[in-house]
Structure 1
Amino acid sequence: MPDILLQPRQARRIPVAGLCAAIAYGGIWFFMDVPFMAHCFGVSFQTGWPFFKRFTGYVGGPIEYLSCLLSQTYYLPWFGVLFLTALFVATYAMASGILRSFIHGKCRLPALFFALLLLVVMKRYLPLVNILPMLGGMAMAWLYIALRRRSLNRRWVEATLLLCAVGLSAPIYYLFGGGLLYFAGLAAIFELIARRHAVTGFLWIITGAVVPQAMSYLFFEPGWAARYLRWLPDQEYVTGVAVVIGVLCTFVPAAALLSPVINRLRESRQTGQSLRYTARVAGGIALATLCGFMILSRFGRKDWMYADFLVANNRWEESLTCLQKMNDDSDMARYLTFRSLAHRGRLPWEMFRFPQRRSSEALLLSSPGWEILPRVTNRRSDILLDLGRVNDSERWAHESLAAQGETPAILERLFVVNVLNGRPDAACSFLRALGKIPFKEEKARKLLARLESDPSLSDDPVLQAIRPSMLRTDYVGGWDPESVLRQCLENNPANRMAFEYLVAHYLLTSNMKGFGTLAARFPDFYYVLPTHMEEALLVYRQANGAWPPGLEDFRPTPEMERRFRAFLTRFMQHPGEPATLWNLLIGDFGNTYWFFDVFGRTAAGATPANLTLTSKQPGGGP
């Protein structure tokens, strides 16, 4: 028999705990997708006193600084998983320890449920800065409860501990912000319910109410909600997500409040055994539900945020697969679709196979209402750099820097645009800032060495691809897609991405006149005309009676001509009947420009509640 089996039960806990932690590490590695979390919750952080000093002047600053530091572990996947495993184990231990102080018997299932629920919301919905204050308050409450239980029947020790804990409430509030509510709330519940000390319990309630108000005179905070809920989740979420976050935030205090009822039922001879059985079944179902959610979120249907993560890592094919499965026609999803297709050289062939609607603002995310959104400023910088508009890309990168801080992606973008603009000293400044970010020092050092040996980085294929498209003349004009893209083409007529984006703009707005002005240049870019351009040329001929200037000798393929005739025949069978036409055309023509021109949207995407015809005939325009 192995020696370990002969050891006391207490001695076997360490290897069992180690095995459980290893299993947790493997599960978190498999299900949490830490690189995606880095994309969702990437925040700025730099080593050194100047960066830390930013967080010292307001309540909750230290915990925000710690959140920024620990968020950097996401950039190194194995380290991020290690951190999440430690957080999971610590959360389980705290929840179990606190609940055992109120509920008689073991509390493993509730504690495990709470720790798993924490991972679920961390994966997609809450950054660390919304998590650590709650856990910090719980840790203080756990310590307080443990010390209070050890000081039973020693009044002077109890009094000293209570005075110290209450006296430390102000520093705890400064460190953890809204985490003080967890500390004071759980301490009050413990005194009122577990110890039955009404005076002490009400003292904690008063402490939780007074300290944030008093501290606002030292660290000014104008809003009542911000004083008491600093860094606790307060964003607007869809109903289901809000409920899940609400359960997470109230689970431990609610269980503590209900502990007298739970204990009474568990100890009852009539209901105790059945209650324990029911609780185990319910706990098992809850844990299975959380595990199922994590599996689905890892391998199930993704949203545009995951596609954005793939695009940010130049995984164009994977992003297109994700976008096609999403069936999402939001502007951000369409922006990602356009950019991914363009980088794969498939935009004029496959654009209408993805969800589209009659609007071209998604091409450059050009709507003025989006300028306050940090993710939009990032994406504008991306697409403008692709098009060669380096100064515009730099402008939106600085907007992102102001809104999000010195994240690795923003610093690297500013390094690139400064190299392209011939400012190596400025580029070095951003690289030095990058070198102050944990896990990025080596990358910054290598780039600095390359820049010192070659200030223009003439051997970099990405920069060399952008340089011919850089604007060389000043521009005064509008920000609309047509003006921006035409300037790119005037500067570099061989800018294929700008050309295809301009064609896409005209198709998305059913502007056949503008489309016709580009037709003469089609042979400059294509030996074989792309599918959607050929479809649009047939619509142009249908509306104008001739091919556009420069393509007078164009002849469509017989198959394309046949399909267009078939489309027209079906279209004319039910004029003015949108629902009937939709059902008649969607099967064979739902991914064509003809279908889009008639309905103002593609078959891909959500079917509109009220179908209308945006054009009475193909080429008729909106």
Structure 2
Amino acid sequence: MRKSLHYLLALVLFGVFFASYTDLLSHVLYYNEQHQLFLYTADYYHSQTLTGWLTAFVVQFFYYPLLGAAVMSALLTSVYLMSWRILTALTRREDILRLSLIPSLALWVWTAGLSHTLSVVVWAFIVLAVLSVPACFLAKGKTIRQFQLKGWKYVAVSIVSLVVISLASGYSFLRTFSMSEFRMIKAQQAIDRHNWDEALHHTERYLDNQRQPNPLIFYFHNIALYNKGELLDRLFDYQPVVGINALYFPWQSRTRETEYGHYLLEQLGCINDAQHWEFEAMVVWGETAPRLINLARYNIINRRKTIARKYIARLRQSLFYKDEADRLEACVESGQIEGLRAFSIKESEKANFVNILNIGPNLQYVLTQDPHNRMAYDYLMCDLLLSNNLSRFVENLPLASSFYKQMPRIFDEALLVYQLGGNDTKGLQPGSDTQNRFQQYAQLAQTGNIAALQAEFGNTYWFYLNYVSPYGNRLKKE
């Protein structure tokens, strides 16, 4: 039993690693797979460093989550077994303190942080594999001496060693692992898969525990709400302390953020602008699967067949994206992609470019070109609300009857605020229920009990305007 205990520990380690990579660390595999793509071409090999080439080769298997978890678990378990072999070969003694567990567990902790490259794991495996060869020759035909401990003493030392190493590893893991990173990447993964319920689950859990406002989480949250048809009903469930940045992702020349802007733009039909973001993302991250797929999609919808086929050809050089390449190739001639469309622009008009910092003003243009674009209207009205621009909000309010059978609650709340300011509401009147609720809001606000006010009216436009808006509580005048 003592001679084969390390094999039992290896099985336990594999189980722990596999469980973590299919659950708490599943976002690590997804994130790395989406940001590296191994291509079976000569030009790819020559364009990469040896480290990048080897790491990408391993990461390609993360395409299938269970396979990726198995690969990572096998690598780390092998690190333990090779460490044990080298240690016992050099000392010719039993590893009663289980020190050979430390390299494997340390690497596992290392992978818990998204900023930590997996190349460290790959190189550790390679180096130990090289060192284990002479270690095997040194150990061949020689007996590993066991410590003169038997019975309960041996068991006690083993248990204490395992407990100490386990506690130290667990503490280090908790210090390295970031739940906010986990929620953020899982939300992005859900958005990629159009799983709006899961996206809401992760963004809401993040917002429930947020210490600092994260515009990206609000951005994902609102995209998911729109696609579930709940944006106008739940815009203020979590008060958007970041203002209009809760709706779209501004271009701020931060290279690592380039991959996020296309989500909203492609749904709005602004394909050229979505392509701009994705091309910049490819400059930052290289030829990764999401970038190649999206650039192919955008060029297909814009009838640029030759360019689309260039990106599709690169996808074919990967191991697991050949089926996706075939699916895209089948769409090239028709110029149609399911779930993707571009609004048409009259040939005589000049090209329109979306404001890279604030696309709010461009939403009006999109709506002019595509009058039935409900997403453009919803986001335009939400932008005007969050920016305190109720004058333009009321100007566009008559269009609401084209999209909704009943006036959304937050529209009625904003209309009442505008009316109370003595402004012309274009003949529109807030409902009696809204007026009654505002009287209750005003009475509670006069008590100065902000906690009670938030509990009762925290999801209203009134509370946002008076207590949350980063632009103050005054209406914008235009």
Contact 1:116 1:290 in 2 (8 A): no
Query: What TM-score, normalized to structure 1?
Result: 0.65
- The equivalent of 2:198 in structure 1 is 318
1:585–1:28 distance in 2 versus 1, CA, 3 Å: closer
Q: Which residue of structure 2 aligns with residue 345 of structure 1? A: 229
Q: 1:456 aligns with which of 335, 350, 355?
A: 335
CA separation of 1:495/1:78 partners in 2, compared to 1, >3 Å: closer, same or farther? same
Cα separation, partners in 2 of 1:145 and 1:478, compared to 1, 3 Å: same
SS at match of 1:461: coil
Contact 2:315-2:322 at 8 Å conserved across structures: yes
**Cα distance change on mapping 1:116 and 1:367 into 2, 3 Å:** same
Determine the structure 2 residue equivalent to 1:407.
288
Distance 2:21 2:77 in 1: 15
Partner of 2:19: 27
Corresponding residue number in structure 2 for 1:306: 186
| 494 and 302 in structure 1: CA distance in 2 versus 1, 3 angstrom threshold | same
How big is the shift at 1:411?
0.8
Hey, what's the Cα distance between the residues in 1 that align with 2:342 and 2:189? 26
Report the Cα distance in structure 1 between the residues aligned to 2:125 and 2:81, rounded to whole angstroms.
Answer: 11
Q: Please give the alpha-carbon distance, in whole angstroms, between the structure 2 residues aligned to 1:448 and 1:35.
A: 30
Change (3 A) 1:287 1:346: same
1:66 lines up with 2:54 in the alignment? yes
Alignment partner of 1:509 is 2:367: no
The corresponding residue for 2:270 is 389
Q: Tell me the equivalent position of 1:591.
A: 459
Aligned pair in 2 of structure 1 residues 20, 408: CA closer, same or farther (>3 Å)? same
Query: How far is the alpha carbon of 1:434 from its aligned partner?
Result: 0.8
Change in Cα spacing, 1:40 to 1:561, as seen in structure 2 (3 Å) is farther
Q: 2:437 aligns with which of 559, 563, 568?
A: 563
- Could you say if the C-alpha distance between residues 620 and 87 of structure 1 is closer, same or farther in structure 2, counting changes exceeding 3 Å? same
User: What CA distance in whole angstroms lies between the structure 2 residues aligned with 1:87 and 1:468?
Assistant: 49
Residue equivalent to 2:127? 137
Match of 1:95 among 75, 80, 83: 83
Structure with the bigger percentage of helix = 1
1:80-115 deviations in whole A, cap 9, x for unaligned?
123112202211113323444359532574433542
> Residues 424 and 455 of structure 1 are in contact (CA less than 8 Å); yes or no, is this contact kept in structure 2?
no
Q: Could you say which structure has the larger radius of gyration?
A: 1
Equivalent residue for 1:118? 107
Q: Letter of the 1:119 partner, please give it.
A: W
Map Cα deviations across residues 460-486 of structure 1 (whole Å, 9 max, x no partner).
4313xx234678641267443222212
Distance 1:364 1:103, change over 3 A: farther
Map of 2:314 onto structure 1: 433
Which SS does the other structure have where 2:247 is aligned? helix
2:214 maps to 330
Tell me which residue corresponds to 1:525.
Answer: 403
CA contact (8 A) 2:26 2:65 kept: yes
Q: d(CA) in 2 for partners of 1:285 and 1:17?
A: 16
Note the C-alpha offset of 1:440.
1.0
8 A contact 1:350–1:532 mirrored in 2: no
Provide closer, same or farther for how the CA distance between residues 489 and 18 of structure 1 changes in structure 2, counting only shifts above 3 A.
same
Matched letter for residue 321 of structure 1: H
CA contact (8 A) 2:413 2:462 kept: yes
Cα distance change on mapping 1:470 and 1:336 into 2, 3 Å:
farther
Contact kept in structure 1, 2:97 and 2:157, CA below 8 Å: no
Describe the shift of the 1:279–1:85 C-alpha distance in structure 2 as closer, same or farther (beyond 3 A): closer
Deviation, structure 1 residue 592: 1.2
Determine the structure 2 residue equivalent to 1:537: 415
Cα distance in 1 for residues equivalent to 2:352 and 2:379: 19
Residue 70 of structure 2 corresponds to residue 78 of structure 1: no
Return the match for 2:361 from 483, 486, 491. 483
| SS in structure 1 at match of 2:335 | coil
What code does the residue aligned with 1:569 have? Q
Query: Is the partner of 2:405 in helix, strand or coil?
Result: coil
**Shift, 1:449, TM fit:** 3.7
Kept in 2, the 8 Å contact 1:96–1:108? The answer is no
8 Å CA contact 2:61–2:68 kept in 1: the answer is yes
User: Of 459, 467, 470, which residue of structure 1 is paired with 2:342?
Assistant: 467
Separation in 2 of the partners of 1:338 and 1:470?
A: 27
Q: Counterparts of 2:65 and 2:335 in 1: how far apart (Å)?
A: 32
1:594 Cα deviation after fit: 0.8
1:93 and 1:335 map into 2 onto residues whose CA distance is: 45
CA distance in 2: counterparts of 1:272 and 1:24, whole angstroms: 24
Structure 1: distance between partners of 2:94 and 2:6: 21
Q: Report SS of the residue matched to 2:383.
A: helix
Q: CA deviation at 1:28?
A: 5.1
CA contact (8 A) 1:35 1:74 kept: no
| Preserved contact between residue 414 and residue 461 of structure 2 (Cα < 8 Å) | yes
Q: 1:495 to 1:590 in 2, by over 3 A?
A: same
Q: TM-score with structure 2 length normalisation?
A: 0.83
Counterpart of 2:250 in 1: which secondary structure?
Answer: coil
- Deviation, 1:29, is 5.9
Does the residue aligned with 1:321 lie in a helix, a strand or coil?
A: helix
Aligned residues: 460
Distance 1:75 1:593 in 2: 43
Distance in 1 between the 2:92 and 2:243 partners? Answer: 59
- 8 A contact 2:262–2:273 mirrored in 1: yes
How many angstroms apart in 2 are the aligned matches of 1:398 and 1:486? 25
Give, in angstroms, the shift of residue 539 of structure 1.
1.4
Structure 1: unaligned runs, 5 residues or longer: 1-7, 56-60, 153-262, 575-580, 602-611
User: CA contact under 8 A between 1:435 and 1:444: conserved in structure 2?
Assistant: yes
1:39/1:582 Cα in 2 relative to 1: closer, same or farther (>3 Å)?
same
